[in-house]
Structure 1
Amino acid sequence: MTDYDVLRVFCAANGGYGNELGVVRDGSVLPDRAERQALAAKLGFSETVFVDDPERGVVDIYTPTLRLPFAGHPCVGTAWLLDVPELVTPAGVVGARQDGEFTWIEARAEWAPPRTLRRYATAAEVDDLPVPPKGEWVYAWAWEDEPAGRVRARGFPGRDDGIDEDEATGAAALLLTAELGRALNITQGTGSQLLTAPQPGGWVEIGGRVVLER
């Protein structure tokens, strides 16, 4: 079996929750894309990262069914694990930094895969949502405290890969931040926390806590 680490990314303040991520630190053991896709499907995480150059931060990201040019929680988790100043993804170079308990990355909204950002009137409505029909990636959100920038969100990938709800989704948070043009403190899923902040020139920072699960 290929060696891999399991992280939880975008954890709550107590270290709980967060979205699981698989990271194969030595991507050379599976150089073929088909083999990587097969392992990502077998592991079943929302994303699995293969590190092709740990010093330069070159990474390759897969869901159980497809390869992604960029994804938020894999980049945050891998930046924390490798402790590098940047990651090189097919979409572009992702800046990274550590700030106390938070790991931050800097990326562009146009790198994120398409998401349907669906606003609801209250956080309670978001809490009560059933899983929507397959076919579109839905990021359901509502203000918990608009002046403070606090958001309640849930992510539904809409794919047939066994993942009905994504616990924490950096790419969707990136898109929402770009659309609203302000810093956000997002509670997603059962209790994950994502922080975001717009930057000059169309960049957005996304930050969160990372825990090594095993």
Structure 2
Amino acid sequence: MATFDAKQMQSLTGLQATARTFLMVGFTVVETLTLGLWLALVEGAPVISRPAAIGLAVLTLGLVVEHVLTDATVNGLSLSFPVTRIAGVSVSEALLWGLWLGIADQLGGVDGILVAGVVLTVLLVPQHSVEDNVLRGEAPLSETLNLDTVGFSLVEGVGATVWLLLVFEGQQFTDLLATLGFGGVDPAAVGLAALGVFLLVEHDIGVTLARQG
């Protein structure tokens, strides 16, 4: 009987791990597509304009969905997830992405995108620290600088930089893309796909960290 129970437990654990993986892939797709739609809506628009406002609203909504699914992945499906806190971290992250794009636009060129990527990576550390607090059920500002978040903040920052380089400066990388087997493919599409891969890695590390609490 004990052996049977152990097998049941192992099977249940396997099913839970599979469900978490599907959820993680799901909210990674949501975030990737949301960011892609947001950039398409706001690219070239003034900071204070209707397209910018619509884009920010779309991005915030997508991030709310992503964070709800993240909470489900870490803590299990529940109707008691912290709606207000999730909305708060979603708004702050949307504004962070807006700042990132604004810096890249203002400085221009490859150097501007690289500087924006560094700023994004640095600011993602406190952002992810607060998100980790929320996922653990702690006060959002209980720890505003969790160094354990540095690694996956860097992964996301690099992914965002690669994405924007291929969107704004794609013509400079056509030979490299051809060498990698992506000749003839829109660099922006390759960049968005690359962002998705980086986000999946980032989410995997982040979920693992939150579940340790």
Bin for the TM-score computed over the shorter chain: under 0.3
Higher relative contact order (CA 8 A, sep 6+): 1
TM-score, normalized by length of structure 2? Answer: 0.27
Is the helix fraction higher in 1 or 2?
2
TM-score, normalized by length of structure 1? Answer: 0.27
